Protein backbone atom coordinates (compact mmCIF):
# COMPACT_ATOMS: atom_id res chain seq x y z
CA UNK A 1 0.00 0.00 0.00
CA UNK A 2 1.28 3.49 -0.83
CA UNK A 3 -0.07 6.65 0.80
CA UNK A 4 -0.12 10.14 -0.70
CA UNK A 5 -0.69 13.07 1.67
CA UNK A 6 -1.98 16.50 0.71
CA UNK A 7 -2.20 19.26 3.22
CA UNK A 8 -5.14 21.62 2.94
CA UNK A 9 -4.07 25.10 3.81
CA UNK A 10 -6.00 28.34 3.89
CA UNK A 11 -4.57 31.54 2.36
CA UNK A 12 -3.30 32.62 5.71
CA UNK A 13 -1.37 29.42 6.03
CA UNK A 14 -3.68 27.85 8.53
CA UNK A 15 -3.74 24.07 8.11
CA UNK A 16 -7.36 23.02 8.03
CA UNK A 17 -7.12 19.47 6.88
CA UNK A 18 -5.21 16.57 5.50
CA UNK A 19 -6.14 14.30 2.62
CA UNK A 20 -4.69 10.83 2.49
CA UNK A 21 -4.95 8.75 -0.65
CA UNK A 22 -4.07 5.12 -0.35
CA UNK A 23 -3.03 3.22 -3.47
CA UNK A 24 -2.87 -0.51 -3.76
CA UNK A 25 0.66 -0.73 -5.12
CA UNK A 26 0.81 -4.49 -5.04
CA UNK A 27 -1.85 -4.74 -7.76
CA UNK A 28 -0.03 -2.21 -9.96
CA UNK A 29 3.31 -3.90 -9.34
CA UNK A 30 1.83 -7.22 -10.31
CA UNK A 31 0.52 -5.77 -13.59
CA UNK A 32 3.93 -4.19 -14.30
CA UNK A 33 5.74 -7.44 -13.58
CA UNK A 34 3.36 -9.36 -15.83
CA UNK A 35 3.88 -6.85 -18.60
CA UNK A 36 7.67 -7.09 -18.31
CA UNK A 37 7.49 -10.85 -18.39
CA UNK A 38 5.23 -10.73 -21.43
CA UNK A 39 7.62 -8.47 -23.34
CA UNK A 40 10.54 -10.72 -22.41
CA UNK A 41 8.57 -13.74 -23.63
CA UNK A 42 7.63 -12.09 -26.90
CA UNK A 43 11.24 -11.08 -27.56
CA UNK A 44 12.43 -14.57 -26.82
CA UNK A 45 9.76 -16.16 -29.00
CA UNK A 46 10.74 -13.94 -31.91
CA UNK A 47 14.46 -14.35 -31.41
CA UNK A 48 14.32 -18.13 -31.57
CA UNK A 49 13.02 -18.42 -35.15
CA UNK A 50 15.23 -15.53 -36.22
CA UNK A 51 18.43 -17.13 -34.94
CA UNK A 52 17.43 -20.44 -36.52
CA UNK A 53 16.86 -18.69 -39.83
CA UNK A 54 20.15 -16.83 -39.56
CA UNK A 55 22.15 -20.04 -39.21
CA UNK A 56 20.32 -21.79 -42.04
CA UNK A 57 20.71 -18.77 -44.32
CA UNK A 58 24.40 -18.57 -43.44
CA UNK A 59 24.84 -22.22 -44.33
CA UNK A 60 22.98 -21.66 -47.61
CA UNK A 61 25.16 -18.66 -48.42
CA UNK A 62 28.29 -20.66 -47.60
CA UNK A 63 27.63 -23.34 -50.18
CA UNK A 64 24.69 -25.43 -48.96
CA UNK A 65 22.61 -23.84 -51.71
CA UNK A 66 24.67 -25.68 -54.33
CA UNK A 67 23.87 -29.02 -52.74
CA UNK A 68 20.86 -30.52 -54.48
CA UNK A 69 19.63 -32.31 -51.41
CA UNK A 70 20.52 -29.96 -48.56
CA UNK A 71 19.69 -26.71 -50.39
CA UNK A 72 15.92 -27.18 -50.71
CA UNK A 73 15.73 -28.71 -47.23
CA UNK A 74 17.38 -25.72 -45.58
CA UNK A 75 15.19 -23.35 -47.57
CA UNK A 76 12.12 -25.22 -46.31
CA UNK A 77 13.26 -24.71 -42.71
CA UNK A 78 13.53 -20.97 -43.21
CA UNK A 79 10.09 -20.98 -44.86
CA UNK A 80 8.53 -22.85 -41.94
CA UNK A 81 10.12 -20.52 -39.42
CA UNK A 82 8.87 -17.49 -41.36
CA UNK A 83 5.35 -18.94 -41.42
CA UNK A 84 5.47 -19.58 -37.68
CA UNK A 85 6.68 -16.04 -37.01
CA UNK A 86 3.78 -14.64 -39.04
CA UNK A 87 1.37 -16.82 -37.05
CA UNK A 88 2.97 -15.64 -33.83
CA UNK A 89 2.66 -11.96 -34.73
CA UNK A 90 -0.95 -12.49 -35.89
CA UNK A 91 -1.78 -14.23 -32.59
CA UNK A 92 -0.14 -11.40 -30.66
CA UNK A 93 -2.19 -8.84 -32.56
CA UNK A 94 -5.38 -10.77 -31.81
CA UNK A 95 -4.53 -10.85 -28.11
CA UNK A 96 -3.62 -7.19 -27.93
CA UNK A 97 -6.85 -6.30 -29.74
CA UNK A 98 -8.80 -8.27 -27.19
CA UNK A 99 -6.87 -6.65 -24.33
CA UNK A 100 -7.92 -3.21 -25.45
CA UNK A 101 -11.45 -2.94 -24.25
CA UNK A 102 -12.73 -1.29 -27.42
CA UNK A 103 -12.74 -4.61 -29.22
CA UNK A 104 -16.36 -5.59 -28.81
CA UNK A 105 -17.79 -8.93 -29.77
CA UNK A 106 -20.01 -8.91 -32.83
CA UNK A 107 -22.67 -11.27 -31.58
CA UNK A 108 -25.45 -12.86 -33.52
CA UNK A 109 -27.89 -15.67 -32.85
CA UNK A 110 -26.36 -18.69 -34.51
CA UNK A 111 -27.47 -22.32 -34.50
CA UNK A 112 -24.43 -23.62 -32.68
CA UNK A 113 -24.97 -27.22 -33.77
CA UNK A 114 -24.90 -26.38 -37.48
CA UNK A 115 -21.98 -24.04 -36.94
CA UNK A 116 -19.99 -26.74 -35.08
CA UNK A 117 -20.76 -29.43 -37.72
CA UNK A 118 -19.54 -27.07 -40.39
CA UNK A 119 -16.20 -26.55 -38.63
CA UNK A 120 -15.73 -30.28 -37.99
CA UNK A 121 -16.54 -30.97 -41.68
CA UNK A 122 -13.77 -28.59 -42.71
CA UNK A 123 -11.23 -30.46 -40.57
CA UNK A 124 -12.53 -33.81 -41.76
CA UNK A 125 -12.00 -32.78 -45.40
CA UNK A 126 -8.44 -31.61 -44.93
CA UNK A 127 -6.99 -33.88 -42.25
CA UNK A 128 -3.97 -35.81 -43.36
CA UNK A 129 -3.59 -38.35 -40.58
CA UNK A 130 -5.60 -41.48 -39.99
CA UNK A 131 -7.66 -40.08 -37.17
CA UNK A 132 -11.34 -40.88 -36.86
CA UNK A 133 -13.93 -38.33 -35.86
CA UNK A 134 -16.91 -39.03 -33.66
CA UNK A 135 -19.69 -36.50 -33.16
CA UNK A 136 -22.11 -36.51 -30.26
CA UNK A 137 -24.13 -33.43 -31.04
CA UNK A 138 -27.83 -33.02 -30.27
CA UNK A 139 -30.18 -33.46 -33.20
CA UNK A 140 -31.84 -30.14 -32.54
CA UNK A 141 -30.96 -26.57 -33.29
CA UNK A 142 -29.51 -24.61 -30.41
CA UNK A 143 -29.36 -20.89 -30.94
CA UNK A 144 -26.59 -19.17 -29.03
CA UNK A 145 -25.57 -15.53 -29.22
CA UNK A 146 -21.97 -15.69 -30.38
CA UNK A 147 -19.27 -13.90 -32.31
CA UNK A 148 -18.96 -16.46 -35.09
CA UNK A 149 -15.49 -15.42 -36.31
CA UNK A 150 -13.99 -15.45 -32.84
CA UNK A 151 -15.54 -18.78 -31.89
CA UNK A 152 -14.30 -20.25 -35.16
CA UNK A 153 -10.84 -19.27 -33.97
CA UNK A 154 -11.44 -20.95 -30.59
CA UNK A 155 -12.59 -24.21 -32.18
CA UNK A 156 -9.78 -24.12 -34.76
CA UNK A 157 -7.19 -23.78 -32.02
CA UNK A 158 -8.61 -26.58 -29.88
CA UNK A 159 -9.24 -28.98 -32.78
CA UNK A 160 -5.84 -28.44 -34.36
CA UNK A 161 -4.23 -29.23 -30.99
CA UNK A 162 -6.33 -32.40 -30.70
CA UNK A 163 -5.12 -33.45 -34.16
CA UNK A 164 -1.52 -32.44 -33.49
CA UNK A 165 -1.37 -34.61 -30.39
CA UNK A 166 -3.41 -37.54 -31.74
CA UNK A 167 -1.62 -40.81 -32.44
CA UNK A 168 -2.15 -42.60 -35.76
CA UNK A 169 -5.53 -44.30 -35.63
CA UNK A 170 -6.69 -42.19 -32.69
CA UNK A 171 -10.20 -40.89 -32.26
CA UNK A 172 -11.23 -37.27 -31.78
CA UNK A 173 -14.62 -36.87 -30.17
CA UNK A 174 -16.81 -33.77 -30.43
CA UNK A 175 -19.61 -33.30 -27.98
CA UNK A 176 -22.23 -30.69 -27.13
CA UNK A 177 -24.28 -30.99 -23.96
CA UNK A 178 -27.28 -28.83 -23.24
CA UNK A 179 -27.34 -27.74 -19.60
CA UNK A 180 -29.75 -25.55 -17.65
CA UNK A 181 -28.68 -22.16 -18.99
CA UNK A 182 -25.59 -22.97 -20.99
CA UNK A 183 -24.14 -25.39 -23.45
CA UNK A 184 -21.01 -27.39 -22.74
CA UNK A 185 -18.77 -28.11 -25.69
CA UNK A 186 -15.96 -30.65 -25.48
CA UNK A 187 -13.27 -31.98 -27.76
CA UNK A 188 -11.41 -35.13 -26.71
CA UNK A 189 -8.38 -36.84 -28.14
CA UNK A 190 -6.46 -40.00 -27.35
CA UNK A 191 -3.06 -38.34 -27.41
CA UNK A 192 -0.17 -38.15 -24.99
CA UNK A 193 -2.11 -36.14 -22.42
CA UNK A 194 -0.87 -33.38 -20.12
CA UNK A 195 0.86 -33.90 -16.76
CA UNK A 196 -1.48 -33.09 -13.88
CA UNK A 197 0.52 -30.14 -12.54
CA UNK A 198 0.48 -28.41 -15.92
CA UNK A 199 -3.19 -28.69 -16.80
CA UNK A 200 -4.22 -25.25 -15.53
CA UNK A 201 -1.18 -23.55 -17.04
CA UNK A 202 -1.90 -24.49 -20.66
CA UNK A 203 -4.26 -21.51 -20.93
CA UNK A 204 -1.48 -19.06 -20.03
CA UNK A 205 0.26 -17.10 -22.75
CA UNK A 206 3.34 -18.91 -24.12
CA UNK A 207 2.99 -21.84 -21.77
CA UNK A 208 3.79 -25.20 -23.37
CA UNK A 209 4.42 -28.50 -21.70
CA UNK A 210 7.23 -29.16 -24.15
CA UNK A 211 8.52 -25.97 -25.78
CA UNK A 212 10.77 -27.61 -28.35
CA UNK A 213 8.07 -30.03 -29.44
CA UNK A 214 5.44 -27.31 -29.72
CA UNK A 215 7.75 -25.13 -31.83
CA UNK A 216 8.66 -28.05 -34.01
CA UNK A 217 4.97 -28.60 -34.69
CA UNK A 218 4.59 -24.96 -35.57
CA UNK A 219 2.91 -23.90 -32.33
CA UNK A 220 3.00 -20.38 -30.94
CA UNK A 221 1.94 -21.15 -27.37
CA UNK A 222 -0.88 -18.63 -27.72
CA UNK A 223 -3.72 -20.75 -29.13
CA UNK A 224 -5.35 -21.67 -25.85
CA UNK A 225 -4.71 -18.23 -24.32
CA UNK A 226 -6.72 -16.74 -27.20
CA UNK A 227 -9.42 -19.39 -26.73
CA UNK A 228 -9.70 -18.46 -23.05
CA UNK A 229 -10.01 -14.73 -23.76
CA UNK A 230 -12.77 -15.30 -26.32
CA UNK A 231 -14.74 -17.81 -24.24
CA UNK A 232 -14.60 -15.56 -21.18
CA UNK A 233 -15.64 -12.53 -23.23
CA UNK A 234 -18.76 -14.56 -24.09
CA UNK A 235 -19.40 -15.16 -20.39
CA UNK A 236 -18.28 -18.78 -20.56
CA UNK A 237 -15.56 -20.85 -18.92
CA UNK A 238 -12.81 -23.05 -20.35
CA UNK A 239 -10.88 -25.90 -18.74
CA UNK A 240 -9.13 -29.16 -19.48
CA UNK A 241 -9.02 -32.65 -18.12
CA UNK A 242 -6.33 -35.07 -19.09
CA UNK A 243 -4.75 -38.38 -18.27
CA UNK A 244 -1.13 -38.81 -19.28
CA UNK A 245 -0.76 -41.40 -21.97
CA UNK A 246 -4.54 -41.64 -22.45
CA UNK A 247 -5.75 -38.35 -23.81
CA UNK A 248 -7.02 -34.86 -23.24
CA UNK A 249 -10.42 -33.19 -23.24
CA UNK A 250 -10.87 -29.45 -23.56
CA UNK A 251 -14.24 -28.17 -22.34
CA UNK A 252 -15.87 -24.79 -22.64
CA UNK A 253 -19.28 -23.41 -21.84
CA UNK A 254 -21.36 -20.70 -23.47
CA UNK A 255 -24.33 -19.15 -21.75
CA UNK A 256 -27.61 -19.31 -23.58
CA UNK A 257 -31.19 -18.64 -22.78
CA UNK A 258 -33.68 -21.22 -23.77
CA UNK A 259 -36.36 -19.36 -25.67
CA UNK A 260 -39.96 -19.77 -24.55
CA UNK A 261 -40.74 -21.56 -27.78
CA UNK A 262 -38.18 -24.23 -26.88
CA UNK A 263 -39.77 -24.73 -23.50
CA UNK A 264 -43.25 -25.09 -24.92
CA UNK A 265 -42.37 -27.45 -27.70
Cβ atoms < 10 Å from Cβ of 136: 11
Residue with smaller CB distance to ligand ADP, 71 or 170? 170
Q: Strand pairing partners for 2?
A: 23
Among 53, 194, 230, 254, which residue sits at the site for ligand ADP (rule: CB under 6 A)? 194
Which CA distances in Å does 68 have to 61, 64, 65, 72? 14, 8, 7, 7
Among 110, 155, 182, 202, binds ligand ADP (CB under 6 A): 202
Q: Is 209 in the site for ligand ADP (CB under 6 A)?
A: yes
With binding defined as CB under 6 A, does residue 157 bind ligand ADP?
A: yes
Binding piece for ligand ADP, criterion CB under 6 A, among 98-106, 126-134, 155-163, 177-185: 155-163
Q: How far is the CB of 184 from ligand ADP (least distance, A)?
A: 17
Q: Look up residue 32 and give its DSSP letter.
A: H
Residue nearest to ligand ADP (CB): 219
From the list 183, 190, 177, the residue with the least C-alpha distance to 243 is 190
Residues β-bridged to residue 177: 184
Gap between the Cα atoms of 99 and 94, Å rounded: 9
Check: CB of residue 171 under 8 Å from CB of residue 244.
no
> Are the C-beta atoms of residues 249 and 187 closer than 8 Å to each other?
yes
Tell me which of 56, 84, 159, 221 binds ligand ADP, using CB under 6 A.
221
Give DSSP secondary structure letters for 169-196: T-EEEEEEEE-SSEEEEEEEE-SS---G
Least distance from ligand ADP to the Cβ atom of residue 86, Å: 14
The reply to whether 253 sits near ligand ADP by the rule CB under 6 A is no
> Which region among 20-28, 45-53, 120-128, 215-223 touches ligand ADP (by CB under 6 A)?
215-223
Q: What is the DSSP letter of 170?
A: -
Q: Residues 60, 113, 224, 231: which binds ligand ADP (CB under 6 A)? A: 224
Of the residues 123, 165, 252, 256, which one makes contact with ligand ADP according to CB under 6 A: 165
Q: From CA 184, how far away is CA 96, in angstroms rounded?
A: 27
- Is position 219 an interface residue for ligand ADP (rule: CB under 6 A)? yes
Closest CA to 190 of 137, 245, 238, 241: 245
Assess 186 for contact with ligand ADP (CB under 6 A).
no
Among 144, 151, 154, 222, binds ligand ADP (CB under 6 A): 222
Q: Residues in the site for ligand ADP, rule: CB under 6 A?
A: 157, 161-162, 165, 189, 191-192, 194, 202, 207-210, 214, 219-225, 248
Amino acid sequence: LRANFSIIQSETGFVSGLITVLHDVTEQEKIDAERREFVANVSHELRTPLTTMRSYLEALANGAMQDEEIGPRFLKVTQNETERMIRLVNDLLKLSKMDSKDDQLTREYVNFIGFFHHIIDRFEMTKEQHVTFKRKLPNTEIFVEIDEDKLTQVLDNIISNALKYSPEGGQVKFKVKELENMIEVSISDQGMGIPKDNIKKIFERFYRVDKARSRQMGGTGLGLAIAKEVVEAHGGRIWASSIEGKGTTIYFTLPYERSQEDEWS
